């Protein structure tokens, strides 16, 4: 599972046009968990991070791991 940064989370939501509430519902976590993570107030527990990553990936984004250029997010190519 890729590590998720607060910046990736915000960017992924932006690409998907999801609110924090929508992500929270899809990941089965509280909105405050998403809000506080994105604002850098706390880290996610590994199980919670897995739920958030899975929701984002199921929504259609690919989380790009940190390498030379840093972590990123991109939309997956739609299935034909």
pLDDT higher than 60, residue 58: yes
**Are the C-beta atoms of residues 52 and 12 closer than 8 Å to each other?**
no
The length of the chain, given as a count of residues: 80
Please report the domains of the chain, with CATH numbers, ordered by start residue. 6-75 (1.10.260.40)
Instruction: List b or e across 36-60, with b for residues whose CB sees 16 or more CB atoms inside 10 angstroms.
Output: ebbeeeeebeeebbebbbebbeebe
Q: What is the pLDDT of residues 39-57, one digit of tens each?
A: 999 999 999 999 999 999 9
Look up the pTM and report it.
0.88
């Amino acid at each position: 599972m890729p590590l998720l940064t607060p910046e990736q989370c915000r960017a992924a939501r932006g690409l998907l046009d999801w609110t924090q509430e929508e992500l929270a519902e899809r990941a089965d976590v509280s909105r405050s968990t998403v809000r506080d993570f994105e604002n850098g107030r706390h880290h996610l527990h590994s199980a919670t991070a897995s739920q958030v990553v899975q929701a984002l990936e199921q929504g259609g984004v690919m989380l790009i791991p940190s390498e030379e250029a840093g972590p990123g997010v991109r939309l997956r190519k739609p299935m034909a």
